[in-house]
């Protein structure tokens, strides 16, 4: 282990954390505090009884005031096809422009639910704690919008990557199988994998 030089702690820590691969979410809110959203990787499951997750929000974010004034939020986990929306919500873009980059419905809490997200967790904020530069929002999940399996978006080493969904892959492979016939080796393997998953 290398000790961290206290003068470069924040930078060294950020570089180390950048090595961790994480899902990418749009965390959104609406209500008396206004409509706002930001791109987040600091989202974590806390418990399944009751279903609870946490979100870490920088207090210097332009979204902070809205989240402080509202009692609900939605965690919208992005698919690989949604990386442009991740960029729009990643900072320095006015809120109206961020929301114009995608389609939305209102969740049961009133928080904006992203159309086509991998999964959306519609939540009531049950507690808040300030730690260092961030507020940690503990949220009870009130409703879920999960959709057909899709490729996931992952952020690692300050870049976006696609994590292919096995079943999405199989759809492609099955299509290839129809075109190329069963004699093809990888198409036959796809069929065997499909049977295992069915
Ligand atoms: C991949 C990625 C992950 C991020 N994760 C977080 C996070 O977990 N918490 C957070 O407060 N900001 C996070 N940010 C930064 C916010 O999205 C950004 O600061 C926010 O949109 C506010 O920017 P603004 O003050 O210009 O509005 C992340 C940005 C990116 C691109």
Question: How many domains does the chain contain in total?
Answer: 2
Residues 42 and 68 occupy one common structural domain: yes
The answer to the question of residue 48 being in a domain is yes
- Examine the domain organization and report whether 198 and 156 are in the same domain: no
Q: Is the pLDDT of residue 42 over 90?
A: yes
Domain match, 18 and 81 both: yes
CATH number at residue 133: 2.30.110.10
Kindly state whether residues 128 and 160 are assigned to the same domain.
yes
Atom 24 of ligand 1: nearest residue by CA position:
91
177 pLDDT above the threshold of 80: no
**In whole angstroms, what separates CA 190 from the centre of its chain?**
29
109 and 191 belong to one structural domain: no
Indicate if 111 and 184 belong to the same structural domain.
no
Which of 28, 39, 78 for mutating ligand 1's site (highest number of atoms within 8 Å of CB)?
39
Residue 86 has pLDDT above 90, yes or no: yes
Among 3-7, 127-131, 147-151, 185-189, the least confident range: 185-189
Domain that holds residue 180: 166-198
pTM above 0.85, yes or no: yes
The verdict on residue 191 lying in a domain is: yes
Q: Are 123 and 142 in contact (CB under 8 A)?
A: yes
Residues 140 and 184 in one domain: no
Residue 62 Cβ inside 6 Å of ligand 1? The answer reads yes
Residue 46 has pLDDT above 80, yes or no: yes
Quick: pLDDT tens for 141-165.
999 997 788 999 999 999 999 999 9
Same domain, 120 and 195: no
Please identify, by atom number, the ligand 1 atom nearest to the C-alpha of residue 98. 21
Instruction: Give residue-wise pLDDT tens across range 105-115.
Output: 999 999 999 99
Question: Does pLDDT of 171 surpass 70?
Answer: no
pLDDT digit string (tens) for 116-138? Answer: 999 999 999 999 999 999 999 99
Alpha carbon distance 172, 143 (integer Å): 31
CA angle 21, 24, 29 (to 5 degrees): 150
pLDDT of residue 83 exceeding 90: yes
183 pLDDT band, cuts 50/70/90, is very low
In this prediction, residue 169 carries a pLDDT of: 66
Q: Is residue 61 a part of any domain in this protein?
A: yes
In this prediction, what percent of the chain has a pLDDT beyond 90? 76
In a domain, 21, yes or no: yes
Which residue out of 18, 22, 36, 41 has the highest number of ligand 1 atoms within 8 Å of its CB and is therefore the one to mutate?
41
Pairing relationship of beta strands 112-114 and 104-106 according to DSSP bridges: antiparallel
Whether residue 158 is contained in a domain is answered as yes
Residues 160 and 97 occupy one common structural domain? yes
């Amino acid at each position: 282990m290398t000790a961290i030089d206290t003068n470069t702690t924040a930078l060294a820590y950020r570089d180390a954390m950048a090595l961790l691969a994480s899902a990418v979410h749009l965390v959104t809110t609406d209500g008396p505090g206004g409509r706002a959203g930001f791109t987040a990787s600091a989202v974590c499951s806390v418990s399944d009884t009751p279903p609870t997750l946490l979100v870490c929000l920088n207090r210097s974010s332009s979204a902070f005031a809205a989240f402080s004034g509202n009692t609900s939020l939605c965690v919208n986990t992005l698919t690989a096809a949604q990386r442009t929306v991740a960029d729009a919500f990643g900072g320095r873009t006015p809120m109206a422009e961020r929301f114009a980059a995608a389609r939305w419905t209102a969740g049961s809490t009133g928080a904006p639910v992203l159309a086509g997200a991998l999964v959306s967790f519609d939540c009531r904020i049950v507690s808040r704690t300030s730690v260092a530069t961030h507020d940690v929002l503990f949220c009870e999940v009130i409703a879920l919008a999960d959709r057909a399996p899709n490729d996931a978006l992952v952020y690692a080493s300050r870049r976006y990557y696609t994590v292919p969904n096995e079943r999405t892959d199989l759809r492609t492979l099955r299509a290839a199988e129809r075109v190329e016939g069963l004699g093809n080796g990888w198409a036959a393997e796809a069929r065997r994998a499909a049977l295992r998953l069915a």
